[in-house]
Amino acid sequence: MSKAKKVKRSITKGRVYIRSSFNNTLITLTDMSGNVVAWSSSGNVGFKGSRKNTPYAAQLAANKVVKDGLDMGLGSIEVYISGPGQGKDSAVKVFQGSSIKVVGLKDITPHPHNGCKLKKRRRM
């Protein structure tokens, strides 16, 4: 039984979602309809433990996504950033320094407007 041949995708425009937490940085490349085309993370690149949340680890993860995108013929991207981590700035710089044109940059980190309701005060 032979394996099915993998079809090489071809996209010209895409979206990049950078999710940067205190522990890891996840970078996802999607086409314009939201289907995941390529992804990488600091852990996927080979970092473990507290080294995953460094800007250098996010930079290497972004390099991997850029390489995958260029193989598919990616021309322009919109970048969406989310999370409080420190790797998001270095990941954005990788995309801006590559031959892929960055069309838009948006921070979609959720901010609470008033927060959750506090617990009822303890009776004495």
The model's pTM: 0.86
Q: Among residues 20, 24, 18, 10, which one has the least CA distance to residue 78?
A: 18
**Residue 1: its pLDDT value, please?**
66
Number of structural domains, the chain? 1
66 assigned to some structural domain? yes
Tokens 């473990």 locate to 48
Instruction: Give domain status of residue 120, yes or no.
Output: no
Q: 56: which residues sit within 8 A by CB, 6+ positions away?
A: 90
CATH number, position 57: 3.30.420.80
Q: Is 41 helix (H, G, I), strand (E, B) or coil?
A: strand
Structural domain contains residue 118: no
Provide the residue-wise pLDDT of the chain in tens; the chain has 124 residues.
Answer: 677 777 778 899 999 999 999 999 999 999 999 999 999 999 999 999 999 999 999 999 999 999 999 999 999 999 999 999 999 999 999 999 999 999 999 999 988 888 888 899 999 8
pLDDT of residue 6: 72
Residue 121 lies in a domain: no
Q: Is residue 122 part of a domain?
A: no
Residue 119 within any structural domain of the chain:
no
77 Cβ contact list (under 8 Å, min separation 6): 13, 14, 15, 16, 29, 69, 95, 100, 101, 102, 103
Q: Is residue 32 part of a domain?
A: yes
Q: What sign does the CA torsion over 61, 63, 68, 73 have?
A: positive
Please check whether residue 5 lies inside any domain of the structure.
no
User: What domain range is 41 assigned to?
Assistant: 13-107
21 vs 84: CA distance, rounded Å: 6
